Amino acid sequence: MKNKIVIFSNIKGGVGKTTLCALFASYLAEHGYPVIAIDADLQASLFRHRQREKDVAPEAQVPWNVELLDTANREHLKHVMDKLKDVPGIVLIDCPGNLNDRNLEYIYKSADAAIIPISFDADTVDATGIFIKAMKTVSSAELIFIPNRINTSERKSEELRQRTQTTEFLGLVGTVVPTVKQSVSVKRYTTLYPLEKSQLAVIEPAFGKIIEVFHLNKE
């Protein structure tokens, strides 16, 4: 399969980058796509999550690999990104939630697509706008916006107006996929075991659309 590097990123914390990255890796693997996840975040949340699960169940079969990526060493980072371009399959990179690390530019430049989790509060919308501008200056990656942890029961007219305006704006610079609703089952993600039916029901519309946008094939 042709290589594709996909980053999960936004400068606003708490939007669910790591959770969505793990869920998407499992979704791809379960649909027969070769996938590897790279944890480039200083907190190493995805990598540590996998380690904790393996400590509890060392005999469990690993459905997709998770590797750490140190972004502090510029030359090492450039070398790793060059190697990742040759990986036959989909490389998912969980990026740090900031723009302070100039070395991240190498990751952004290498990305074929950026999946950007968002919510519709003013702080996240503003931060996402800043991130879009920063990405556009260094990368030609396709932008995919995924509204995440959205409480669909909210029906206040001002909130609905804000959502509509934000979605229309983001649609001018990228693709906005269906909403991932707020769900306890989604937060309770695993890196070892198959996706639960309750998780699939929530993420399928968004992830299915992403696969369409990517024009993915398994050959």
Tokens of 133: 């501008």
Report the relative pairing of strands 90-94 and 65-68 from DSSP bridges. Answer: unpaired
Which SS3 state, helix, strand or coil, does residue 155 take? coil
Amino acid at position 88, single letter? P
Which SS3 state, helix, strand or coil, does residue 211 take? helix
CA separation for the pair 17, 145 (Å, rounded): 11
- Structural domain contains residue 94: yes
Q: DSSP label at 154? A: -
- Structural domain contains residue 56: yes
pLDDT, position 146: 98
CA separation for the pair 218, 32 (Å, rounded): 7
Which SS3 state, helix, strand or coil, does residue 202 take? helix
- Structural domain contains residue 46: yes
Q: Is residue 16 very low, low, confident or very high in pLDDT (cuts 50, 70, 90)?
A: very high
Phi, psi of 90 (to 5 degrees): -105, 125
Q: Is the pLDDT of residue 8 over 70?
A: yes
CA separation for the pair 61, 76 (Å, rounded): 30
Please spell the DSSP secondary structure of 175-219, one letter per residue.
EEPPPEE--HHHHS--SSSPPPHHHHHHHHHHHHHHHHHHT----
- Structural domain contains residue 161: yes
CATH of residue 111's domain is 3.40.50.300
With a CB cutoff of 8 Å and minimum separation 6, the contacts of 83 are none
- Structural domain contains residue 179: yes
pTM: 0.95
Q: Are 194 and 164 in contact (CB under 8 A)?
A: no
Which residues constitute the domain of residue 198? 4-214
What is the total count of domains within the chain? Answer: 1
Between 179 and 13, name the one with better pLDDT: 179
Amino acid at position 111, single letter? A
pLDDT, position 215: 84
Q: Which of 48-52, 57-61, 72-76, 171-175 has the lowest mean pLDDT?
A: 72-76
pLDDT in tens, 102-129: 889 999 999 999 999 999 999 999 999 9
pLDDT in tens, 143-156: 999 999 888 776 67
- Structural domain contains residue 176: yes
- Structural domain contains residue 219: no
- Structural domain contains residue 47: yes
pLDDT, position 218: 60
